[in-house]
Chain A
Amino acid sequence: MNMSLSNLPWLEPLVKIVRGDNVSQNATIIIKTIGLPLAGILVFLLVWHAAASNINTSLGQFPGPADVVEQSGNLLQEHITEREKADAFYIRQEKRNAARVKVDPDYVPKIRDYTGKPTYIDQIGTSLITVLSGFFLASLIAVPLGIVIGLSANLYSAFNPIIQIFKPVSPLAWLPLVTMVVSALYVTDDPAVAKSFVTSMITVMLCCLWPTVINTAVGVASISQDLKNVSMVLRLNYITHVIKIVLPASVPMMFTGLRLSLSIAWMVLIAAEMLAQNPGLGKFVWDEFQNGSSDSLGRIMVAVITIGIIGFALDRVMLIIQRFVSWDKAATLR
């Protein structure tokens, strides 16, 4: 209840207006919470439109809001067409197989996958899967590492310089190394996932590891002495101490780190996909850029906005999870 209301700050005054109390005051609240953001967006669109019509590139005019709307429609339409083609392909294949089985009952039908090129929506899907895999892998390493480091001042001192050095490294620097290592180590005849996927995922992981490690470690290290004393008086063993005291106590800080990590992961992913040629949004942008048609800039702009919206949505999802698992309800989370 609390959660949904704080996400929709205009809802409560709206209900009040409907009930008839304090109409003018509540109207002001609504104007402030919905009107101002809308006005901001409107101004932005106008400025964008004006600026775009004044920028000419070798690929034509810079895309304005109208082009973006048009290209979004196109991309969606392409997706629908492609799906229809795929469906048609499978129906044809089924029919053909059925016919052959009729003629020759011993025939084992071959089922082939449709091999159309990935659509924009498919690419969004790939990007999301890649970023979440990288992020989960990073969390799987970062949370335990953060806890172990946070529990021991000595380990903290030992690891801190390494963390501080790796933290600011750009994904572009990691990528060539990761690519070579993946090519050398990931050799199977029948790869379950593409090499480019593994490369992007590992690059994402390497870049988004650090905020979670640091925040978890700080959270663990700053557990109050009182709680540690409770644990000592009860003679909790190491494992119980970690599960019953350390983990819950550091959940708020841990999630601060995880949220930072996920936003970094998403940012890194686009660059990684561009270079690793993983079929996601990054590759889409790169391909459009190489393609260089008159629509390309508009399509890239659609990607830019999509990337922004997805990044925002991912952060909101993390925030909701954080609110749900955090015992510290007093802390305002935004």
Chain B
Amino acid sequence: MKTLLELTRVGIEFNTPKGAFRALRDVDLKINQGEYISLIGHSGCGKSTVLNIVAGLLQATEGGVVLNGKEVNEPGPERAVVFQNHSLLPWLTAYENVELAVKQVFKGKKSKADMKAWIEHNLELVHMTHAMHKRPDEISGGMKQRVGIARALAMEPDVLLMDEPFGALDALTRAHLQDSLMEIQKDLNNTVIMITHDVDEAVLLSDRIVMMTNGPAATIGEILDIELERPRNRIQLADDPQYNHYRHQVLSFLYEKQKKADESPDKSQASAQDKSIGTDSVARDKRAQKIA
């Protein structure tokens, strides 16, 4: 298979008032066309930083990112981003939000009618046809995230970058969107990098799970190949020994090998509940924390 995206010895140092802060070092990763990659790791380890470097929103201080044989050093629509909090323009309807992206990417390449059809097609993919003329404040969080995904898909990106796309959603909505995403992925076979805090989500969706060590100077700890057959069904997988084995491997990486250094033993139970990674309920706690 052909390598589409290559990260070579990527590192970054932030200039902070307290001096240089090294967030990442030696991140090496090769991603093939059509692969679905999850990035998982404790909060603050540098997952978003990796994603933003690939997106071109941050510049690596060492190493580099090569996409399709070309070095990446600025943002561009061929690396569409689905942001954690949807990032829709609040004054535009769902349709207009997607339209802004489509007009920008397909200016001069598609006719007006084609663009309209293409926008509607993408909104249909995420099941948003019924509410496409509503503004973000008139639709639910899950629907906003769908529109965000539609906007990214509509750019026909080489790589789809998603930063905790479902992090702010309740468990049911999230499961629903994960299923939609798997369906879309089956048809379009996009190359995806997704950040998640949810072990189940990572195992369910990914071809490979990239597990990151704790920061500062975080890097890739282990990479887990998920060889579960597709289409995957969450209910059947719940009893699948292979699935549970993968889950166990991720959990053991996170809670045994990368136990958070700042978790003192007496507090560890409480903070494991609201800070770190696990299943749906834990992620929901995290959301509550973020809102607060």
Residues of A within 8 A of B (CB): 224, 226-227, 229-230, 232-236, 240, 244-245, 248-249, 251, 327-330
Chain B contacts for A240, CB-based, 8 A: 104
Interchain residue pairs with CB less than 8 A apart (28): A226-B83, A227-B89, A229-B55, A229-B57, A230-B83, A230-B89, A232-B74, A232-B75, A233-B57, A233-B75, A233-B76, A233-B80, A233-B81, A234-B77, A234-B100, A234-B104, A235-B75, A235-B77, A235-B104, A236-B104, A244-B89, A244-B100, A245-B89, A248-B89, A249-B89, A327-B91, A329-B137, A330-B137
In the complex, what's the smallest C-beta–C-beta distance from B273 to chain A, in angstroms? 28
The answer to whether A327 touches B90 (Cβ under 8 A) is: yes
What residue in chain A is nearest B96 (Cβ atoms)?
A244
Contact size class for B? 20 to 34
The answer to whether B90 touches A232 (Cβ under 8 A) is: no
**Bound CA span A233–B75, Å:** 5
Chain A contacts for B247, CB-based, 8 A: none
CB-based closest 8 A-B pairs:
A327-B91, A226-B87, A232-B75, A248-B91, A234-B104, A233-B75, A230-B87, A233-B81
**Bound CA span A327–B75, Å:** 28
In the complex, what's the smallest C-beta–C-beta distance from A329 to chain B, in angstroms? 7
Chain B contacts for A229, CB-based, 8 A: 55, 57, 75, 81, 83, 87
Task: Given A226-B83, A234-B104, output 7 extra A-B contacts at Cβ < 8 Å.
Answer: A229-B55, A229-B75, A232-B75, A233-B55, A233-B75, A235-B75, A235-B76
Given contacts A226-B87, A328-B90, contact A233 B77 (CB under 8 A): yes
The answer to whether A227 touches B104 (Cβ under 8 A) is: no
CB within 8 Å of A: which B50-82 residues: 55-57, 74-77, 79-81
**Bound CA span A227–B135, Å:** 16
In the complex, what's the smallest C-beta–C-beta distance from A204 to chain B, in angstroms? 31
In the complex, what's the smallest C-beta–C-beta distance from B187 to chain A, in angstroms? 23
**Bound CA span A224–B79, Å:** 21
Chain A contacts for B100, CB-based, 8 A: 234, 244
What residue in chain B is nearest A244 (Cβ atoms)?
B100
In the complex, what's the smallest C-beta–C-beta distance from B82 to chain A, in angstroms? 10
In the complex, what's the smallest C-beta–C-beta distance from B135 to chain A, in angstroms? 7
Chain A contacts for B79, CB-based, 8 A: 233
**Bound CA span A236–B101, Å:** 9
Chain A contacts for B56, CB-based, 8 A: 232
Q: Is B49 an interface residue (CB 8 A)?
A: no
In the complex, what's the smallest C-beta–C-beta distance from B81 to chain A, in angstroms? 5
Q: Is B85 an interface residue (CB 8 A)?
A: yes
**Bound CA span A330–B136, Å:** 12
Chain A contacts for B81, CB-based, 8 A: 229, 233
Chain A contacts for B74, CB-based, 8 A: 232
**Bound CA span A244–B76, Å:** 17
The answer to whether A327 touches B77 (Cβ under 8 A) is: no
In the complex, what's the smallest C-beta–C-beta distance from A220 to chain B, in angstroms? 15
**Bound CA span A236–B90, Å:** 18
**Bound CA span A63–B152, Å:** 70
In the complex, what's the smallest C-beta–C-beta distance from B104 to chain A, in angstroms? 5
What residue in chain B is nearest A233 (Cβ atoms)?
B75
Chain A contacts for B135, CB-based, 8 A: 327
**Bound CA span A230–B80, Å:** 9
**Bound CA span A327–B97, Å:** 14
In the complex, what's the smallest C-beta–C-beta distance from B67 to chain A, in angstroms? 14
Chain B contacts for A233, CB-based, 8 A: 55, 57, 75-77, 79-81
The answer to whether B87 touches A227 (Cβ under 8 A) is: yes
**Bound CA span A329–B137, Å:** 9
The answer to whether B85 touches A226 (Cβ under 8 A) is: yes
**Bound CA span A216–B286, Å:** 35
**Bound CA span A262–B185, Å:** 54
Chain A contacts for B75, CB-based, 8 A: 229, 232-233, 235
In the complex, what's the smallest C-beta–C-beta distance from A324 to chain B, in angstroms? 13
**Bound CA span A207–B154, Å:** 48
**Bound CA span A99–B104, Å:** 71
**Bound CA span A328–B91, Å:** 8
**Bound CA span A290–B56, Å:** 71
What residue in chain B is nearest A234 (Cβ atoms)?
B104
Chain B contacts for A251, CB-based, 8 A: 91
Q: Mark B132-144, 1 if CB is under 8 A from A, else 0.
A: 0001010000000
In the complex, what's the smallest C-beta–C-beta distance from A194 to chain B, in angstroms? 42
Chain A contacts for B55, CB-based, 8 A: 229, 233
**Bound CA span A245–B100, Å:** 10
**Bound CA span A244–B57, Å:** 20
Chain B contacts for A248, CB-based, 8 A: 89, 91
